[in-house]
A and B are shown apart, each in its own frame.
Chain A
Amino acid sequence: MDLLLPDFGLFFWMTLSFLIGFFLLKKFAWKPILQALSDRENSIAESIATAESMKIEMSNMKNENELLLNQAREERSMMLRDAKETKEKMINEAKEMAKEEANRIMIEAREQINHQKNAAIIDVKNQIGTLVIEVAEKVLRKELSNKAEQNNYINSLASEIKLN
């Protein structure tokens, strides 16, 4: 039964030593250890947070890059399309112009041909006129010598002159 009753001496020493032990441990052991543990906890939490934010930043940057790349790609394709369009336009324009030029040249050539033809006809007419006058002159001279011969002559001349 004495085991169930607290012994005074042990009670006394236990109270004294436990309290002293508690306060000493509290000041020199638990406080620094707990401080170090919480410091480390904070530093780890901070590191994780930093890593996380870096990750987000990285992914943002990647997104930005992709966006830029896409923009560049779009721009390139737009430029290609534009260039194609311009090329086609230029070709068409050149074709158009060439056609017009050709038409113009044709018209001019035709006009010139007509002109030359007219000039040639006028020239022929003039030459015919001159020939007629020469013939007339010759006829007139023959008439003066012999009437019969004159007539023959005129007839012969007339037969000679062939209007091609």
Chain B
Amino acid sequence: MILSPKISLKAFVALLFLLVGYSFISFSQPQPIATNTTTEQHVEGEKKKIDVKEIIFGHIRDSHEWHLFSIGEFHATLPLLVILYNPAKGFSAFLSSKFEEGEVAYEGYRMINAKDVELDKNLVEGKIVAVDGSKVYDISMTKNVVSMIISLLLLWFLMTGIAKKYKKNGINKAPTGWQNAIEPVIGFVQDNVAKPYLGKHYLKYMPLLLTFFFFIWINNLMGLLPGGANLTGNIAVTLVLTLVFFVVMLFNSNKYYWGHIFNPPGIPLGIKFILVPIEILSNFLIKPAALAIRLFANIFAGHTIILSLMCMIFIFGAMNQVAGYSASIFSVAFSVFMFFLELLVAAIQAFIFTNLAAVFIGQAIEEHHHDDHAVDTHKSNS
């Protein structure tokens, strides 16, 4: 609920850069001024048109291939497994390289490429559709899925290794290596997140909170690596995390929680008619949505800012070479700063998600005693 000033500042900066970015994108679109510049470029030296939107969203968006780097016309990409389900045809699985960048149809499916998008703006580049237009369920191993599986494997080897170390060394030996690095983090989650909000039941929720924290953190960090997937900046991922939290919260909620929503104690009947819908909205929509959107938007914005800063070099470079070089100084300085900020944000967002999940679960399992003595007991407790 409470966003730190740093994060809201970041959101503002992101907005600014998005606006700047969009203004450049609009330049590159077929508008009177834009066409002038692009034609000039073509005349000057056969330079490629810089499509900022394509560059930024190409990096942020999920993809059926893992693009590593490009040198000129050579694109180093890793084809990924495409898995499709069609009620009529059943499952089909093949590598995404079969589509040849959307040029070729394969097994009756084809991938939408940039040319299709130019013809029909409603289409999304990289989506797989059936040639005959029938419904397709795309459950491919996309870049994000592969990245997520790698992150889970990393977590698995890291954490089970640590668990083994505890078993091997016993509890009286000082922790070493990864064990030493992770232990304070676990202690932090336990002492600063779980214990204050969940009270005496905290141990029951510790595995979930730790999984949330480390999953988000490791994926935030992996997203910052060059060529990394923007997993936590994807709404589907944050939505799943939130749904898991939501299910856990509802399954563990007690009667006081439900009583508080549908029959708030100590409130006149007239106000209840206003308050109950607000409570329902707040508990079943706003709380989970806030969790999901906060994480998604923060990571998404961070990636966008860094990519925008990088794109500025090429935008200025396309205008004038000197401008490009001088812009690169500022762009690189700013992106280094943003990278450090994002490293911080990676941990902060993991913490905030975990913390808020703990707070909301804590509210759902809290043992209220709203009787006539409620005021007295509250006073004596405080």
Contact = CB atoms under 8 A, between A and B. Distances in A.
Interface string A17-47: 1110110111011111110111110010000
Given A25-B211, A36-B171, A30 B236 contact: no
Interface residues of A, number: 35
Contacts of A21: 152, 155-156, 211, 215
Nearest to A36: B166
A22 B244 CA distance: 10
Given A30-B211, A32-B163, A33-B166, A17 B139 contact: no
A95 B331 CA distance: 117
Chain B interface mostly? helix
Contacts of A24: 156
Nearest to B139: A9
Interface residues of B, number: 48
Interface of A: 2-15, 17-19, 21-22, 24-26, 28-34, 36-40, 43
A31 B208 CA distance: 11
Contact of A34 (B83, B142, B152, B203): B203
Contacts of B57: 3
Interface string B139-162: 111101100110010011001101
A40 B172 contact: yes
B38 interface: no
Interface stretch (B68-76, B87-95, B182-190, B346-354): B182-190
A30 B166 contact: no
B211 A10 contact: no
Contact of A25 (B83, B155, B187): B155
B166 A14 contact: no
A6 B236 contact: yes
Contacts, number: 123
B221 interface: no
B356 interface: no
B59 to A, nearest CB: 12
B159 A25 contact: yes
Nearest to B145: A13
A29 B160 CA distance: 5
Contacts of B166: 32-33, 36
29 contacts: A2-B124, A3-B61, A3-B234, A4-B235, A6-B235, A6-B236, A7-B62, A9-B137, A9-B142, A10-B236, A10-B237, A13-B141, A13-B145, A13-B149, A14-B148, A17-B149, A18-B211, A19-B244, A22-B208, A22-B211, A22-B244, A25-B207, A26-B208, A28-B160, A28-B163, A29-B163, A32-B166, A34-B186, A36-B167
Contact of B62 (A10, A26, A29, A33): A10
Can you list the 4 inter-chain pairs with the closest CB atoms, starting with the nearest?
A29-B159, A6-B236, A36-B166, A26-B207
Nearest to A27: B207
Contacts of A2: 61, 124
A26 B239 CA distance: 21
A10 B237 CA distance: 7
Contact of A8 (B137, B208, B244): B137
Contacts of B130: none
Contact of A37 (B156, B183, B239): B183
A14 B207 contact: no
Nearest to A21: B152
Given A28-B159, A30-B211, 12 more contacts: A5-B235, A7-B62, A9-B145, A10-B236, A15-B240, A17-B148, A21-B155, A21-B215, A26-B211, A32-B166, A33-B166, A40-B171
A11 B244 CA distance: 12
